Amino acid sequence: MSLTLAELVAFNTILLAALLSPGAAMLFITKATVTGGRAAGIATGIGLGTAAAMWTLAALLGLEAVFTFFPWTYTVLKIGGALYLIWIAIQTWRHSRDPLGDAPKPRGQAILSGILLNLGNPKSMLFAAAVIVVVFPKGLAAADIVAIVLNHWLLELVFYTLLALALSTPHIRRGYVSLKPVFDRIAATLLGALGLRLILEK
């Protein structure tokens, strides 16, 4: 089987819809950008996109089969991701009244944070395991798999870079600073609720 343009367009359409929907990744990069600045936001986006592309690669290489034959692997990943989300929620709530500070997060640390979030983000896992195996046929050539993964990574990178550029404007940053305790506690509540739901759902 070979990759077709129609399949790639369908994949990109679904991916854009997923990126635009509010979720842990959107909350995470929003906070990273308004607190750490444009560079931190872009670096976080690189991490988020890299992890998401890794899930795409795993799905194309048979991730769904692994979850089917070894259900515990999905459970471990889901619980680990949920605990990470809860940890972020607790830290965000605890520091909601802290000033932003002038020292931006190192880019390497921001990239790693984005990777860790999306590696344990069930939304990324489910997207990869469910959508990708439906859109693309089995038996793709290695070159097609590379093209799909690279396409995914680039699309996420462009999306998160544009988002970081928009969120890092002085007007948005000033608005966030003035309501930082409120925004941080809302984000912490949403992230914590998502983590708890993942642990409790069967």
Which one, of 19, 120, 131, 149, lies nearest residue 64 by Cα? 131
pLDDT tens across 33-72, in order? 888 889 999 999 999 999 999 988 988 887 666 767 777 7
pLDDT tens across 71-108, in order? 777 777 778 777 877 888 898 888 878 776 555 678 88
In a domain, 147, yes or no: yes
In a domain, 103, yes or no: no
pLDDT tens across 155-165, in order? 999 999 999 99
Mean pLDDT of the chain: 82
In a domain, 123, yes or no: yes
Other Cβ atoms less than 10 A from the Cβ of 80: the count is 14
Higher local confidence (pLDDT), 43 or 137 = 43
Contact assessment for residue 13 and residue 78, using Cβ atoms and an 8 Å cutoff: no
Containing 182, the helix (H) or strand (E) segment is helix 180-200
- Phi, psi angles (nearest 5°) of residue 141: -70, 160
User: What is the rounded distance in angstroms from the CA atom of residue 67 to the CA atom of residue 129?
Assistant: 9
- Phi, psi angles (nearest 5°) of residue 99: -65, 160
| pLDDT category of residue 148 using cuts at 50, 70 and 90 | very high
Give the count of domains, the chain.
Answer: 1
In a domain, 105, yes or no: no
| Residue 131 per-residue DSSP state | I
In a domain, 13, yes or no: yes
In a domain, 104, yes or no: no
In a domain, 22, yes or no: yes
Contact assessment for residue 153 and residue 49, using Cβ atoms and an 8 Å cutoff: yes
Domain that holds residue 82: 5-98+110-200
- The set of residues, in sequence order, having a beta carbon less than 8 Å from that of 114 and lying 6+ positions away, is 28, 29, 32, 43, 44, 45, 46, 47, 48, 49, 50, 51
What is the model's pTM? Answer: 0.78
In a domain, 53, yes or no: yes
Burial class (CB in 10 A: 0-12, 13-18, 19+), 98: exposed
Joined tokens for residue 195: 């983590």
